[in-house]
């Protein structure tokens, strides 16, 4: 099936979405390549999926469609995503294909997948889908070593600040296919993921290289004053770019209007693991990243306890980890509050697993967790029977979920040595 002949990004997204859904309805979607980021649905996943689908269509002349695993009703939970999408003249309501736009069925209607911003296909896409195969992987998370015989390209580079950087670098040999809108979308993602390309931060060589490639192209968006001057040789020092980063970060941190259920599902990933304590079963483990601290959250959300129990029960979770990342209200010499992280884990109906997990987390040198009590945050523990919980301050503020997830997996699956690297 030939790619859609379109000249602009918005035309490509609208036409590929419509054509794909028509193909699904006609039972003819097997030849499409579905490009998707991870289920947390951050800007890196969305931008990378859009860019790689465009690349697949334009460079490889193949039918491809970007898919976000975020339900349509949850798109509003990430204001920074909406800001970046609207900045490049896209309409999230008409131009983004969400997981629940695809008609529900026993088996997913397509069999070819390209994974960006993760490197393991979620079981829901392979279930009852015997022809399922992963034809491409571009990622910056821990490499699980899958799809080496089927994925081309297969690019997993750790460490890299943003997956968008790796996707952008694919266009260096195909510059004519990089548009100002796509460059801006990728650049926004890189800025968020690397803290504005701050030296000594999360930015790696691939991120700086990608930003230098994208910035001059993005500057062609003449009617967007926010990017005036982005063609400078060192984007990380450009005032306009840093202003864009500040705006995106402010949008990302603006969550005061969200309730506990919104906060838990806003940036959420789920894993199916086999615990060493009971190897005869699989359990579901969720990790929610939340951009506010527990001291601001828990006393103001009296439904925290009931909403968290509901969140776990509805998803069938045995373990939920809540990972906070925020800045303290006290302003330092830099003009900003100090970066802080905390972790809370809740285990449902498994006392042995709770003890093993909590003890191992406290021994983990990589996370450097310091045990706290709920009164330290102005509340008393309010979970019902069967829910066991513990809460910590995380002293290693550089350890994100990308670091925490492999640690939790190793502990639960009994690979303790990995957790204490």
Question: What pLDDT is recorded for position 331?
Answer: 77
Distance CA 110, CA 131 (A): 9
The pLDDT score that the predictor gives to residue 222 is: 57
For 25, the token pair is 């309805």
Spell out, as residue ranges, where the chain has pLDDT lower than 70: 1-6, 222-234, 334, 416-421
pLDDT of 416 reads 59
pLDDT digits (tens, 9 = 90+) for 143-157: 999 999 999 999 999
Q: Phi/psi of residue 290, each to 5°?
A: -130, 130
**What is d(CA 21, CA 96) in angstroms, rounded to the nearest whole number?**
12
Nearest to 115 by CA among 150, 79, 80, 83: 150
Cα separation, 344 vs 289, in Å, equals 11
Residue 93 makes CB contacts below 8 A (sequence gap 6+) with: none
Sheet holding 387-394, edge to edge: 268-273, 283-290, 317-331, 337-348, 387-394, 369-372
The predicted pLDDT at position 6 comes to: 60
| CB distance 112 to 133 below 8 Å | yes
Residue 202 per-residue DSSP state: T
Contact 68, 97 (CB under 8 A): yes
**Residues 94-131: tens digit of each pLDDT:** 999 999 999 999 999 999 999 999 999 999 999 999 99
Tell me, what's the pLDDT at 220? 87
What crossing angle do the helices spanning 43-58 and 163-170 adopt, rounded to 10°?
A: 20
pTM of the predicted structure, to 2 decimals: 0.91
The rounded distance, in Å, linking the Cα atoms of 115 and 49 is 8
């Amino acid at each position: 099936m030939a790619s859609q002949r379109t000249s602009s990004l918005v035309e490509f997204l609208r036409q590929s979405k419509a054509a794909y859904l028509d193909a699904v309805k006609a039972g003819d979607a097997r030849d499409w390549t579905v490009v998707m980021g991870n289920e947390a649905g951050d800007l890196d996943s969305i931008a990378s999926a859009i860019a790689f689908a465009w690349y697949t269509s334009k460079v490889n002349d193949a039918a491809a469609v970007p898919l976000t695993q975020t339900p349509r009703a949850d798109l509003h939970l990430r204001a920074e995503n909406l800001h970046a999408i609207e900045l490049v003249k896209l309409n999230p309501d008409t131009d983004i294909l969400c997981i629940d736009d695809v008609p529900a069925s026993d088996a997913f209607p397509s069999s070819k997948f390209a994974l960006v911003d993760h490197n393991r296909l979620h079981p829901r896409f392979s279930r009852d889908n015997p022809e399922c195969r992963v034809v491409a992987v571009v990622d910056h998370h821990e490499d699980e070593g899958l799809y080496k015989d089927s994925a081309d390209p297969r690019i997993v580079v750790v460490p890299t600040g943003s997956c968008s950087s790796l996707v952008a670098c694919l266009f260096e040999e195909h510059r004519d296919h990089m548009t100002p809108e796509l460059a801006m979308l990728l650049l926004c993602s890189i800025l968020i993921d690397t803290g504005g390309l701050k030296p000594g931060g999360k930015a790696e060589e691939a991120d700086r290289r990608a930003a230098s490639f994208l910035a001059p192209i993005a500057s062609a968006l003449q009617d967007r004053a926010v990017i005036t001057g982005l063609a400078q040789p060192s984007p990380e020092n450009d005032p306009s770019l840093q202003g864009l980063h500040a705006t995106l970060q402010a949008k990302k941190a603006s969550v005061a209007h969200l309730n506990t259920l919104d906060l838990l599902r806003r940036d959420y990933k789920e894993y199916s693991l086999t615990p060493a304590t009971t190897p005869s079963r699989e359990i579901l483990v969720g990790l929610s990243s939340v951009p506010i601290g527990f001291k601001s959250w828990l006393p103001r959300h009296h439904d925290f306890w009931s909403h968290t129990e509901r969140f776990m029960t509805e998803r069938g979770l045995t373990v939920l980890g809540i990972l906070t990342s925020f800045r303290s209200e006290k302003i330092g010499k830099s003009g900003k509050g100090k970066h802080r992280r905390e972790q809370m884990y809740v285990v449902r109906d498994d006392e042995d697993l709770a003890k093993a997990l909590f003890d191992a987390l406290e021994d983990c040198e990589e996370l450097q967790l310091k045990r706290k009590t709920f009164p330290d945050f102005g509340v008393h523990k309010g979970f019902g029977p069967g829910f066991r919980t513990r809460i910590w301050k995380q002293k290693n503020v550089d350890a994100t979920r990308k670091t925490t997830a492999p640690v939790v997996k190793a502990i639960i699956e009994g690979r303790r040595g990995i957790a204490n690297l």
